Amino acid sequence: MTESAEMSDRISIIVPTGMLGGGVSRAQVQYGLRRGASAIAVDSGSTDSGPAYLARGVSKMNRESIKRDLQILMAEAHRAKIPLLVGTCGTSGTDSGVDWTRDIVLEVATELSIGPKIVCLYSEQKADELIRKNSRGEITPLPPLGPISDADLKSCEHIVALMGPEPYIAALQAGADIVLGGRTTDTAVLAAVPLMRGAGVAQAWHAAKIAECGGLCTVNPSLGGVLMHVGRDAFEIEPLDIDNQCSPETLSAHLLYENSDPFTLTEPGGVLDASDAEYRWVDNRITRVTGSRWTPKPYTMKLEGARGGDFQTIMFIGIEDPEVLANLDEFHDLMQKTLTGRIRKTFGDEAVRFDVSLRIYGWNGTSGRPVPRGTVPPRDVGVMFVVTAPTQDLANRMAKACNPYFFHTPLRPGIEMPSYAFPFTPAEIPRGQVYEFVLNHVVHTSDAFELVRSVSVDPARANKGALDA
Amino acid sequence: MPKLSDICRHVRSKNAGPFWVTVDLFFDGEENFRRYHDTPALSPQVFARLFGTNPDLVRRIPVDNLHVVKISYPRPHPQGWMQERDMHAGQQFARLLDLEVD
């Protein structure tokens, strides 16, 4: 096969940033359009920052940064008459995250005086429906978790299923200009248009996997997004900045990032195998990849669920007292015993469930593990106190009860009462709820649409409705 | 015996989904990769000791063309649990650096 035949019928997709709200460049988007892009696709979600966003159904990114990026992307997509796809709206892809993003999109549409056809894709799931599927053996655990119980499913604040590309393709084929998706695999939203337009299936998924974090697969990730060119038997990744490069090493190394397996990637409806992929320079900015493989599998969607648990209150002190610094492990254990005892004594039966955790930053706060023998004492440490209890009120009261002891406990009896350095007043900071991921399971579905709801939004009517209200 | 930090140009750790951590060891050159990529100093038992993980689930995958060894292990507690100290697991690599390899 000739070099150009590999890339025949190429479909080009602008990936302007790894995460909507991260800051997109109009000049870069326009560069991608001049290079023949037929869609803009961007991910708006992540589980990296922890379960709080899914459990609460709120966005990690603030509204203003999402709106600023959408202003640029919507204006450029409209001008070029190409679609804009956004995956995992609102960080966790709950229904509320899709609606929140939709409202920003409608606001921007009004400001730009445009009337794009918008389709919202929802993939949040009701516990009862999943309990039924579970009873039919249609939910399978992924390691390290085991089978899921009905109680666990019911305990989740939100459960989302990760969509594949098919609902996006259906929305585009029905004429959508903007598709706003709930939880979607990072790759599916980028692969959708190449797959719809007949590009190589393995090539589309592999390109999307590399481009999913925007410029992170480039030599200089601070220089913005990338462009995917997907052909029938090869794909190319090109940086959107003329001074940046996508090298064979940066592209192949990106498969390592945040993946437990760098070669095989399970997606809805199949598995990508990149173990025989070859990465070669096209010129000094662009790298071409061949040898990707795709094996179709029965359709599955990964599930994510999160729930709220107990509540925490924190306090923080600084210590420069050399006596304490020379005996930090002893100090930690003494403080742990003193504060735990204080809570037991003060709260009695009310303290059925609580946890006090002390982290000495500057010594072993990050790991909590023993420090090697003979380690030189630091000059300064910060000690964080974290109390966890069933309600915020109880956690606050426990912290208040501990306050004078956390402040004044001497290293040994007989030492004059010390006062450690509080940086804040009041010293106790209610931190909020502890959230927990619950699910690491896949659900087997009859097709890509069984658990997905698609809703068309007419901007004229939606904005009129907003005005009437 | 050299330490891991002597034979790697870069070592990093990161969350890989809510329940797994993945460590990438970028060996300094092909010779060090060939010599040390299957060192017993990085056995599942060592990961169990250092990270409290289940040794039966630890996976080690060499990536020849990059001179990288990837080791993935399940978190002993779910991300964000009440005693969480490293939400993104980005500092977990540090406790590997002084491991003596042979």
- The Cα angle at residue A313 between residues A416 and A322, in degrees rounded to 5: 30
Mean predicted confidence (pLDDT) in A289-308: 97
Q: How far apart are the first and last CA of chain B?
A: 6
Rounded CA-CA distance A286/A219 in Å is 11
By the CB < 8 Å criterion, does A43 face chain B? no
Instruction: Check CB contact under 8 Å for A304 and B68.
Output: no
| A395, β-bridge pairs | none
By the CB < 8 Å criterion, does A410 face chain B? no
| B71, β-bridge pairs | B23, B60
Task: Say how many C-beta atoms besides its own lie within 10 A of residue B20's C-beta.
Answer: 25
Sign of CA pseudo-dihedral A12, A251, B13, A441: positive
Rounded CA-CA distance B49/B102 in Å is 18
Mean predicted confidence (pLDDT) in A368-378: 95
Q: Find the closest chain A residue to B16 by CA distance.
A: A258
pLDDT more than 70, % of chain B: 100
Three-state secondary structure string covering B3-68:
EHHHHEEEEEEEECCCCEEEEEEEECHHHHHHHHCCCHHHCHHHHHHHHCCCHHHCEEEEEHHHCE
pLDDT at A467 over 50: no
pLDDT digits (tens, 9 = 90+) for A1-60: 666 789 989 999 999 999 999 999 999 999 999 999 999 999 999 998 899 999 999 999
Rounded CA-CA distance A189/A167 in Å is 10
Mean predicted confidence (pLDDT) in A212-228: 96
| B68, β-bridge pairs | B26, B63
The residues in A 144-203 lying below 8 A from B, measured between CB atoms, are 144-145
Task: Specify the pLDDT at position A258.
Answer: 85
User: Nearest to residue A86, comparing CAs of A160, A16, A6?
Assistant: A16
Task: Specify the pLDDT at position B63.
Answer: 94
With H, G, I as helix, E, B as strand and everything else as coil, classify residue A427.
Answer: coil
With H, G, I as helix, E, B as strand and everything else as coil, classify residue A105.
Answer: helix
A146, A126 Cβ separation under 8 angstroms: no
Instruction: Check CB contact under 8 Å for A51 and B17.
Output: no
Mean pLDDT (chain A) is 96
pLDDT at B3 over 60: yes
Task: Say how many C-beta atoms besides its own lie within 10 A of residue A246's C-beta.
Answer: 28
By the CB < 8 Å criterion, does B97 face chain A? no
By the CB < 8 Å criterion, does B66 face chain A? yes
Q: Find the closest chain B residue to A366 by CA distance.
A: B85
**φ and ψ at residue A61, rounded to 5 degrees:** -80, 145
Look up the ipTM and state it: 0.93
Task: Say how many C-beta atoms besides its own lie within 10 A of residue A358's C-beta.
Answer: 18
pLDDT level of residue A460 (50, 70, 90 thresholds): confident
The pTM of the full predicted model, rounded to 2 decimals, is: 0.94
Tell me, what DSSP letter sits at residue A273? E
Task: Specify the pLDDT at position A469.
Answer: 40
Instruction: Check CB contact under 8 Å for A355 and B65.
Output: no
Mean predicted confidence (pLDDT) in A341-356: 96
pLDDT at A273 over 60: yes
User: Nearest to residue A7, comparing CAs of A175, A152, A200, A136?
Assistant: A200
- Select the residue of A260, A263, A357 nearest B72 (Cβ to Cβ): A260
pLDDT more than 70, % of chain A: 98
Rounded CA-CA distance A139/A282 in Å is 44
Mean pLDDT (chain B) is 96
pLDDT at A164 over 50: yes
Distance from CA of B98 to the nearest CA of A (A): 11
Give chain A positions within 8 Å (CB) of B61.
Answer: 261-263
Q: Residues with Cβ < 8 Å from A126, sequence gap 6 or more? A: A159
pLDDT at A179 over 90: yes
Residue B69 corresponds to which tokens in the numbers above?
A: 């060894």
Instruction: Check CB contact under 8 Å for A260 and B87.
Output: no
Helices (H), A197-235: 201-211
pLDDT level of residue B78 (50, 70, 90 thresholds): confident
Q: Find the closest chain B residue to A258 by CA distance.
A: B16
pLDDT level of residue A458 (50, 70, 90 thresholds): confident
Distance from CA of A361 to the nearest CA of B (A): 11
Instruction: Check CB contact under 8 Å for A50 and B80.
Output: yes
- Select the residue of B19, B61, B86 nearest A366 (Cβ to Cβ): B86
Rounded CA-CA distance B42/B47 in Å is 7
Q: Residues with Cβ < 8 Å from A244, sequence gap 6 or more? A: A215, A218, A219, A220, A223, A224, A285
pLDDT level of residue A304 (50, 70, 90 thresholds): very high
**φ and ψ at residue A195, rounded to 5 degrees:** -65, -40
Instruction: Check CB contact under 8 Å for B80 and A366.
Output: no
pLDDT level of residue A468 (50, 70, 90 thresholds): very low
Give chain A positions within 8 Å (CB) of B84.
Answer: 50
A264, A275 Cβ separation under 8 angstroms: yes
Rounded CA-CA distance A210/A256 in Å is 10
By the CB < 8 Å criterion, does B87 face chain A? yes
pLDDT digits (tens, 9 = 90+) for B81-96: 999 999 999 999 999 9
Residue indicated by tokens 């990072």: A186
Task: Specify the pLDDT at position A461.
Answer: 76
Mode of pairing for the β-strands spanning A139-141 and A441-444: antiparallel
Instruction: Check CB contact under 8 Å for B61 and A310.
Output: no
pLDDT digits (tens, 9 = 90+) for A115-131: 999 999 999 999 999 99
